[in-house]
Amino acid sequence: MLVRSFKETTSENIVLVEGTVESLGKLLFSKYLLPFELLSLILLVAIIGSVVLAKKDL
**How many Cα atoms occupy the beta-carbon half-sphere of 29 within 13 Å?**
5
Instruction: Determine how many CB atoms are found less than 10 A away from the CB of residue 48.
Output: 10
What's the predicted TM-score (pTM) here?
0.55
The residue-averaged pLDDT of 14-25 equals: 70
Report whether pLDDT(45) > 90.
yes
pLDDT at 9 over 80: no
Burial of 21 (0-12, 13-18, 19+ CB in 10 A): exposed
Please state the domain extents for the chain: 2-57
Residue 21 pLDDT exceeds 60: yes
Q: What is the pLDDT of residue 47?
A: 97
Q: What is the pLDDT of residues 26-41, one digit of tens each?
A: 888 888 899 999 999 9
Segment 7-32 mean pLDDT = 71
